[in-house]
Structure 1
Amino acid sequence: MRLADIAIPDTPAARGSLEVATAYCSPALLNHSVRAYLWAAAYGAMNDIAFDAELLYVASMMHDIGLVKEFDSHTVPFEEAGGHVAWVFAAGAGWPVERRVRASEIVVRHMWDSVDPGADPEGHLLELSTGLDISGRRSEDFPAGLRAEVLERYPRLGIGPEFAGCFADQAARKPDSLAGRFVRSGIAERIAANPLDR
């Protein structure tokens, strides 16, 4: 598996979601979002997990949008806020209600400990890929050449410290959220030890 083998969906919704992420995310968070899709799509292809590439791509671009100041919510966890943004974006893209709901579910579920690939392959792939990119979880499941190519094309740009800071802020304001639980369980240490940063 090489970077060139990973298809990027070329649809109005996919292009629009990248435009939104580019406009609102920091360069580090934007590259993280792109890598999240690339890791997810690669893992799906390598493990014969059928997935909807457009749906996965849009959810990947939107999955951390709830961390940026313009969409941060003081009343719900960031992944739920991001899920609402994904639903609204999908409505603007003309997606039917069921597909809007799916986009929102995938964004919310990327924070789960695990997602059943049989019930939600896109949610499973995004949960797995974001865990890889943020804390290095299961990095050995990806060929070294692919890891090197992806990181060269979309460098990390200090995503570790930036993300740890975002989670610390979320945990302080929303201690009952999953981000709060992750902070209490040592996410900062896992981020600092990510082998992708070596």
Structure 2
Amino acid sequence: MHAHRRLPVPNTPAARGALELATQYQSAAITAHALRSWLWAEAFAHVDGIPGIDHELLYVSAVLHDIGTVAEFDNHRISYEHAGGHVGVALTAGAGWPANRRERVLEVIVRHNWPSVDPALDAEGYLLEIATGLDISGARPNALPVGFRREVLATYPRGTLAAEFGSCVSDQAARKPDTAAKRLIDGGLIDKLAANPLELVG
């Protein structure tokens, strides 16, 4: 049984472009993390009863949420989530999204690094924040069915994510100490990555 196959990938220029960019510029481990984050977010929308989700916006934001960490899009002044959000704005402008919806990509990607997001303020931002919280820090590990978790992890294995992402965010924190990366490192990100229960699901 393949529960995650009931979550169709949006078949749109923006969605296809997001995956193309992720695959071209990111490592396999970071792209797999992005795709797991999308699946976790869609599952949390169901579990938490969040209605009216913009599924294309959620997919594009999830797939691109860490693209600001790669050398080609890294920004020496602003946080990696802001840099990545602007990549999303550029991509969706090319796909013909109106200005207010392009701005939503930036908001959702930036908010995934907030300590928490009110779903009434931003449903997609809330979902991406808790989804990445699960995939990186192991938050709410038992909220989603174990069969679904195993299936997603089998399709998109974690691989070298813990070492790679920890190194990447440590670098961001050292170079940009006034950004969320520093708060994540100070909050024990490295240990949380290593202790994430998803590392043990098989």
TM-score range, shorter chain: over 0.9
Residue 76 (structure 1) aligns with: 78
| Letter aligned with residue 150 of structure 1 | V
| Letter aligned with residue 106 of structure 2 | S
Corresponding position: 1:26 with 2:21? no
Residue 194 of structure 1, CA deviation? 0.5
CA distance in 2: counterparts of 1:177 and 1:95, whole angstroms:
28
Moved over 3 A (4+): none
Residue 8 (structure 1) aligns with: 9
Cα deviations across residues 20-52 of structure 1 (Å, max 9, x unaligned)? 111111000010010110000011022221211
Q: Which runs of 5+ in 2 are unaligned?
A: none
Q: Which runs of 5+ in 1 are unaligned?
A: none
CA distance in 1: counterparts of 2:107 and 2:187, whole angstroms:
24
Residue 61 (structure 1) aligns with: 63
- 1:97 pairs with 94, 99, 109, which one? 99
CA distance in 1: counterparts of 2:186 and 2:45, whole angstroms:
31
CA distance in 1: counterparts of 2:47 and 2:172, whole angstroms:
34
| Letter aligned with residue 166 of structure 1 | C
| Letter aligned with residue 19 of structure 2 | L
Paired residues in the alignment total: 198
Residue 41 (structure 2) aligns with: 40
Residue 116 of structure 1, CA deviation? 1.0
TM-score (norm 1): 0.97
| Letter aligned with residue 149 of structure 1 | E
- Of all paired residues, the percent bearing the same amino acid is 52
CA distance in 1: counterparts of 2:142 and 2:67, whole angstroms:
28
Matched position secondary structure for 2:41: helix
CA distance in 2: counterparts of 1:62 and 1:155, whole angstroms:
18
- Say what the alpha-carbon RMSD is for the aligned residues: 1.1
Residue 180 (structure 1) aligns with: 182
TM-score (norm 2): 0.95
